[in-house]
Structures are given as C-alpha cells and as structure tokens.
Structure 1
Amino acid sequence: MKIRYLTTLDSISESDLAEGFFEGWPDPPSYPNFIRLLHGSSHVVLAVEESSGKVVGFINALSDGVLSAYIPLLEVIPMYQGNGIGQELVRRMLELLNGHYMIDLMCDAELGGFYEKIGMHPSGGMILRNYKNQSGM
C-alpha cells in the first residue's frame, strides 16, 4: 500500500472519497457536505491510496492566519488504520500550522494518548454539540 499526501483539493471530487469515513457517527455528513467541509477549511491534508486514487484519510484545520488554529477532524477509514497514516496526517498538518501561537483540538479521552505521542498536551475545554446538525447544516 502506497499513500501520497496532498494539501490541495484541486483534483478531488466526491467520487474520490473512499467509503467508511465517520464510522460510529449516528448521522454522518453526506458526501456533498463532506466536500463542503473540506473546502471550508483553511488547511487540509489528504491521504490518497495510490493504486485506487481514493482518499482514505484526512485532517482539516480552521485558522485565523495570525495566532490560532483549530483541528476539528482527523479521520482514517478503518481498513487503513494502524499503518501510521493518522500520525503522518497530524505531523503534516502541524508542519503547515508551524508559526501559529496556538493549535488546539478536542478529542475523546481515549484518543489523548495518540495526540500526546505526537507532542500535544492535555488541556481543559468546553463544547456544545447540536446532534440534530451532525450531518451538516
């Protein structure tokens, strides 16, 4: 399995997205909303499986371009997990965001160790979830 990483959406369409993203979400975004969220991000890194051309992982960030950035999503489809793709996506995103004062993300407690290995630190935070909008606005 050979993976190439892209930081642009220029050649990506709905048909390039592999099946299996947002596993466990009761109401995941539709593929049109998935593309919209990627285009609405200030930064993206995509993991593309060379032989199929399918996007099998992604990370996105929202940034003010001055001080702060927030990483809302990191996803690798289940059959590709455990191959270092997630770590590489985070590494490349942190490289893109280098120079920002703060780079924040929220994750479930069981995922904290993954991000700590990459150099991030636990912190407190507050969230509000409107689950009726989980599939997108």
Structure 2
Amino acid sequence: MLTATAMAGTTNDELCAKETNVDVEISLGDTIDEEEVLELYRANEWSSAEKPAQLLAALRGSHALVTARVAGELVDLGNAISDGHLVAYFPHMLVLPRLHGHGIGRRMMQAFLGKYASFHQLMLTADGRAVEFHKELGFERAGHTEPMWIYAGKEH
C-alpha cells in the first residue's frame, strides 16, 4: 500500500517531464459509456470487465472519476473512493497499454492530487512498474502495513 506525502520542492514541470506530445483531454466531469469502459478494462486484462453492470455502477458511484481522451477515445480512467474529508483511495487507474509511457497516467494522478490536496491521507495499491511511478508522484510505502483482500478476480 502506498500513501501520498507532500511533494515539497517538486514542480509541475518536473512531474510532466516524462510526457510526450500526445494531445489529451483530462476531465473530472466526463460521462462514461459502457462499451468504451469495457474496452479499456479488457485491453488491460482486468477481470472486472466480466461484471459490466457492477463495474459501471461502481465507477459512476465513485467520489471522483478522472478520464483522459485522445481524439474522443477513452484512453485512461481512474476513480477515487472517499469519505469526502480526510481519506481518498484510488482503486482503479488504467491507461490503454499502447499509450503507457506518454504521461497520461501522470496527468490523471495530478488531477487527483490536486482535487484531494487538503486531505489527510491518499492511498492506493501498486504493483510492478506502478510502484516506482507512484513514488515519483510523492507516494511512499505505508509503514509496515500490508494490503490485504478477499478477491474474486483472477489477474493477480
């Protein structure tokens, strides 16, 4: 589990340094369509795509939903679950695999970090390459805690 810490001394330019020239529209108020969401989840091999009704209900019921579009195509989606005051958790963050490394996920996380900047704790679970990515954004391991779950998926 990683939690956010202050990004003292880190400028927005430094956070965006890895971006390439992709014309992307980031939105905190976008409307999502079932088929485009399922395409994104399937492209990332997330088993929640097998439960479309629950997935869409969960995303639409989120405290915040950030999307990224390139030429109208949904290429990135992330959501936040929050108590609205102290804690926000980011369970889903997906970028189309062909666009990994273009700075789109970074911009999505910056939108979340801006929205929840005054919160006491921001949390997410990261694995693989995502650990270093989130550390660059100010997240760190949450002390000696370990994420635990009861999980009905199959991709882990």
Shift of 1:109: 5.0
Q: Compare relative contact order (CA 8 Å, sep 6+) and give the higher one, 1 or 2.
A: 2
The aligned runs of 1:1-137 (5 Å cut-off) are 1-9=22-30, 11-17=31-37, 19-22=39-42, 23-25=44-46, 27-29=47-49, 30-50=51-71, 53-123=72-142, 124-131=145-152, 134=153
Give the superposed CA RMSD. Answer: 2.1
Aligned-partner Cα distance in 1 for 2:37–2:48: 14
Question: What is the identity, as a one-letter code, of the residue corresponding to 1:13?
Answer: D
Query: Structure 1 stretches of 5 or more lacking a match?
Result: none
Please identify runs of 4+ aligned residues in structure 1 that moved more than 6 A.
none
Aligned-partner Cα distance in 2 for 1:49–1:34: 23
Q: Deviations over 1:49-103 (max 9, x none)?
A: 12xx121101111110111111111100111111000111111111111111001
Question: What is the identity, as a one-letter code, of the residue corresponding to 2:32?
Answer: I
Aligned-partner Cα distance in 1 for 2:77–2:83: 20
TM-aligned CA distance change 1:63 to 1:90, over 3 Å: same
Of all paired residues, the percent bearing the same amino acid is: 24
Aligned-partner Cα distance in 1 for 2:99–2:38: 11
Give yes or no for contact 1:68–1:102 (8 Å, CA) kept in 2. Answer: yes
Query: Structure 2 stretches of 5 or more lacking a match?
Result: 1-21
